[in-house]
Amino acid sequence: MEFLRPPSLHEALEAKAAHPEAVPISGGTDLMVEINFDRGRPETVLDLSRVPELAEWERENGHVRVGAGVTYERIIAELGEALPGLAMASRTVGSPQIRNRGTVGGNLGTSSPAGDGLPPLYASEAEVELSSTGGTRRVPVSEFVTGPKRNALRPDELISAFRMPRATGPQQYAKVGTRNAMVIAVCSFGLALCPERGRVEACIGSAGPTPIRTPEAERFVEGVMEEGGLWETRGPIGDAALRRFGEMVQAAARPIDDVRGTAAYRVHAIGVLARRSLGWAWDEYRRGGE
Amino acid sequence: MRLSCVVNGEEREAENVWEGESLLYVLRERLGLPGSKNACLQGECGSCSVYMDGVIVCSCLVLAGQAEGREIVTVEGLAGEGGLHPVQEAFLETGGVQCGFCTPGFVVATHDLLSRNPGPSDAEIREALAGNLCRCTGYEKILDAVRLAARRMSP
Ligand SMILES: Cc1cc2nc3c(=O)[nH]c(=O)nc-3n(C[C@H](O)[C@H](O)[C@H](O)COP(=O)(O)OP(=O)(O)OC[C@H]3O[C@@H](n4cnc5c(N)ncnc54)[C@H](O)[C@@H]3O)c2cc1C
Ligand code: FES
Ligand code: FES
C-alpha cells in the first residue's frame, strides 16, 4: 500500500491526477472500517487530513462554503447559527469520538442513503464542489449522489467543499434509531423554513436509494401558509394540515426492508417525523415573532 | 514506512509500519503501549480511545500515517508522578471496573469530558460516554465513578 500525504490542496489534486486509483481518506470513520476488516485493500491511500484548505469554512454573501474536511464537531460548534439543520444532523452522528473525526466530505464520498449529513444538504439545495487539476465544477447535491453508495465523482477529482444558503428561518432534523446515539438512521427527515421566499424545503433520509425531496408535500404547506396569510400573522398551521403534510411525505418515501427496519415501519415513522418536524419548526417561527 | 509522533509527551519512532495499519496497532504492537484496547476495530466500542492533538478519537479508525507528527496521549499518559489520576481512582473505588477491558476507553473519555465540563449533568455524562461500551458493569457504577471524579476534581 502506498500512502500519500499532500500538505496542500494543490498538491492533493496533483497527487489525485497522478494516481487516479488513490482512495482519499479524511476522518477515516468509514474507510478504516473497510481496511480493518480487509473488505478492500486500496493500493494507494491519499490522506486529506492535513490539507488546510479543506478544513476551512467561509461566508459568501448569503451562503456558507464549507470545506470537505470540516468535522461534525466543528459544524456543531461553529455553524449552529448559519446552518442549524446541518448542525442538528451532525449532533446525531455516532459518538464524540466519531464526530471529532468524521466529515461531511466523507459522508458525501460514501453517499449512503442513511448519511445524516445529506438530508439537510438536499433540503437547502446545496452544491458540491468537485476539484481537479483541470478546475472546479459545482454540482447540485441531488445530482452528485446517483444511487446507494454511488456518486458523480470522477477518478481525478476530490470533493473540495459544499456550499449552501445561510438559514433564514427555523430548521429541523429528526432521526429514528434504536438508541439516542451511535445509530445509523432507520429513517430521518430534514426540514427548512424560508419565510422571506414563502418556501418550505424538506428531504427524507434512509427511506429510498438516495435521500428524497418531497416537492408535493412542500407545495401543499406553502399553499396552506399563503392562503391563511400565516407567514405574516404567524398563526397556527392546524393539525389537519400537519397530518396531511405527513401523509404526503409518506407518499414520497421509497423504503425497503432491511436489518434496521421494515419498509412499512419506515413509511409510518417518516410520516410522524415529518409532521412533528414541521410542527416544531413552525412553533419556533411563531415564537420568533413575539 | 517510518512513523514519528509524540506519545505521552515523548518523541517516539516506529519502524517498518505497514501503511494499512491503524494507530491502535502501532501503539499496542510497535510502541509497547497496550493500555488502549482492541475490541471491535469499527469505532463502536470506544475501548481504543486516545487523544490526538487534544481531541479524543478512536485510534482504530486513524490510519497510522495520519498520526505522523501528531501529539498522542493514551491512558498510560494520564497518571501523574504521584500515582493514578483522580478519574482512575474513582473508577476503582466505585466498582466501575470489572473485567477492565472497557476501562481505558472510559477513563480517557471521562478525562476528556471533565476537562471540558467540570460539573456535567447525568444527561451530559451519558452523551459524552455514548461511544463507549461496557459488557460487565451495567453502567451505573461507571456513572458513579464519573460523578465522584467530578466532585473530587472540582476546586
Ligand atoms: C461508530 C460509527 C458510527 C457512525 N455513525 C454515523 C451516523 O450516525 N450517521 C452517519 O451519517 N454516519 C455515521 N458513520 C459513518 C461515518 O462516520 C460518516 O459517513 C462520516 O461522515 C465519514 O466521514 P470521514 O471523514 O470519516 O470519511 P472517510 O472514512 O475518510 O471517507 C469516506 C469515503 O469518502 C471518500 N472521501 C473522503 N473525503 C473525500 C474528499 N474530500 N474527496 C473525495 N472523496 C472523499 C473516501 O475515499 C471514502 O470513500 C459512523 C461511523 C462509525 C464508525
Ligand atoms: S476498537 Fe476502536 S472503537 Fe472498538
Ligand atoms: S468492565 Fe468489562 S467491559 Fe466494562
Last-in-domain residue among A165, A197, A215: A165
| Distance between CA atoms of residues B60 and A103, nearest Å | 17
Answer yes or no: do A153 and A97 share one domain.
yes
Closest ligand to the CA of B47: 2
Out of A1, A96, A97, the one facing B20 most closely (by C-beta) is A1
Segments forming the whole domain that contains residue A91: 2-165
pLDDT in the model for residue A115 = 98
Say yes or no: A98 and A152 in one domain.
yes
Residues 74-103 of B with CB under 8 A from A: none
Number of Cβ pairs closer than 8 Å across A and B? 91
What pLDDT, on a 0 to 100 scale, did the predictor assign at position B124? Answer: 97
- Domain end (from B30, B59, B77): B77
- φ/ψ bin of A198: left (φ > 0), alpha (ψ from -120 to 50), beta (otherwise): left
Regarding whether A187 and A90 lie in a shared domain, the answer is: no
Clarify whether residues A12 and A72 are in a common domain.
yes
Note the pLDDT tens digit of each residue in B43-72: 999 999 999 999 999 999 999 999 999 999
Question: Do A181 and A275 belong to one domain?
Answer: yes
- Answer yes or no: do B131 and B92 share one domain: yes
Domain boundary among A137, A165, A193: A165
CATH code of the domain covering residue A188: 3.30.390.50
A182 and A131 assigned to the same domain:
no
Domain boundary among B52, B77, B102: B77
Instruction: Check residue A283 and give its pLDDT.
Output: 97
pLDDT band at B1 (very low <50, low <70, confident <90, very high): very high
Domain of B12 in residue numbering reads as: 3-77
Same domain, yes or no, for A123 and A180?
no
CA distances from A19 to A3, A138, B101 (A): 11, 23, 41
Going residue by residue through chain A, which has 290 residues, state the pLDDT in tens, using 9 for 90 and above.
999 999 999 999 999 999 999 999 999 999 999 999 999 899 999 999 999 999 999 999 999 999 999 999 999 999 999 999 999 999 999 999 999 999 999 999 999 999 999 999 999 999 999 999 999 999 999 999 999 999 999 999 999 999 999 999 999 999 999 988 889 999 999 999 999 999 999 999 999 999 999 999 999 999 999 999 999 999 999 999 999 999 999 999 999 999 999 999 999 999 999 999 999 999 999 999 77
Please tell me whether residues B71 and B12 are part of one structural domain.
yes
Same domain, A247 and A124: no
Ligand 3 atom nearest to B106, measured from its CA: 4
Cβ contact B78:B111 at 8 Å? yes
| ipTM, two decimals | 0.97
Protein residue whose Cα sits closest to atom 12 of ligand 1: A115
Query: Are the C-beta atoms of A115 and A107 separated by less than 8 Å?
Result: yes
Give all strands of the β-sheet with A199-205 in edge-to-edge order: A171-176, A187-194, A199-205, A212-213
Rounded Cα distance, A23 and A132, in Å = 15
Q: How far apart are CA A121 and CA A284, in angstroms?
A: 21
Note the pLDDT tens digit of each residue in B8-46: 999 999 999 999 999 999 999 999 999 999 999 999 999
pTM of the model: 0.97
Length of chain A: 290
| Residue whose C-alpha cell is 430534514 | A190
Q: Do residues A17 and A150 both lie within one domain? A: yes
The reply to whether B51 and B8 lie within a common domain is yes
Q: What would the pLDDT profile of B109-143 be if each residue is shown by its tens digit? A: 999 999 999 999 999 999 999 999 999 999 999 99
**Do B20 and B73 share a structural domain?**
yes
Name the β-bridge partners of A24: A46
Count of domains observed in chain B: 2
| Measured distance CA(B71)–CA(B6) in Å, rounded | 5
Specify the pLDDT at position A220. Answer: 98
* C-beta atoms of A35 and B63 within 8 A: yes
Residue B91's closest CA among B104, B78, B82, B77? B104
Q: Same domain, yes or no, for B59 and B125?
A: no
Closest residue of A to B46, CA-based?
A: A97
